[in-house]
Amino acid sequence: MILSPETFSPDRIIDISVTLRQGLACWPGEEYWRLEPTQRMAAGYHCNLSRATMGLHTGTHVDAPWHFGEGDRTVEAIPLRQLVIGARVLGRAHVDAAVGRSDLEGKLDGIQAVLLKTTNSGKLEALEPFDRDFVHLDEGAAEYLVEHNISTVGVDYLSVEGYHVENAPVHHRLLGAEMLIVEGLDLSGVEPRDYLLVVLPLKIEGADGAPARAILIDSDHLP
């Protein structure tokens, strides 16, 4: 089947990735994004070359199960079926602390992936300082996702887990169920409904996570 150009027209594709640039907030202790010139044509070189330095959990990225020691699956082994998948964007702007079980009940039927749009969205892209009180998932929500066999979950800040939570129970529950976690999304311009999610992390051998480009495609226009 050949898809028409209209299927992938710009108004049907939404970039939900955060731009990697100077000033982008990152998790305390994680290495900030830096782009350094190594060659410049203005200095007499035949081309422009640069070197990038960053932590693997900076900006839009995925967590592999090995990130929290849940099995030995590293990022290059994440199944493609979890990266290209039908997804529901669920608006939860009313939540000011933690998304709980009650915020998800009755909303996950018939889907494999869910992206949570909260008041976090837009903060990273706007280069706001790191917010220790960002909206996150609690343990009840994590358990509900596992009960409903959700394959991929995405959030609009740098972690599914609250900054002040100890021992990472949410990460352990989700990754232990081999759920793909996508963090650092920008859902500020996205209408809550169903889409095709495409999230492609760098294929880095042995890595606990990787930066990714993530897009949504209007599923109403797919065959």
Q: Is the dihedral of CA 122, 151, 14, 89 positive or negative?
A: negative
Helices 169-176 and 139-147 meet at what angle, rounded to 10? 10
> Is 57 a residue of the active site?
no
Q: Is the dihedral of CA 82, 77, 25, 163 positive or negative?
A: positive
Residue 83 bridge partners (DSSP): none
Catalytic residue among 57, 67, 136, 171: 67
d(CA 179, CA 196): 17
Give the HSE-up count for residue 141: Cα atoms under 13 Å, Cβ half-sphere: 25
User: Active-site residue numbers?
Assistant: 67
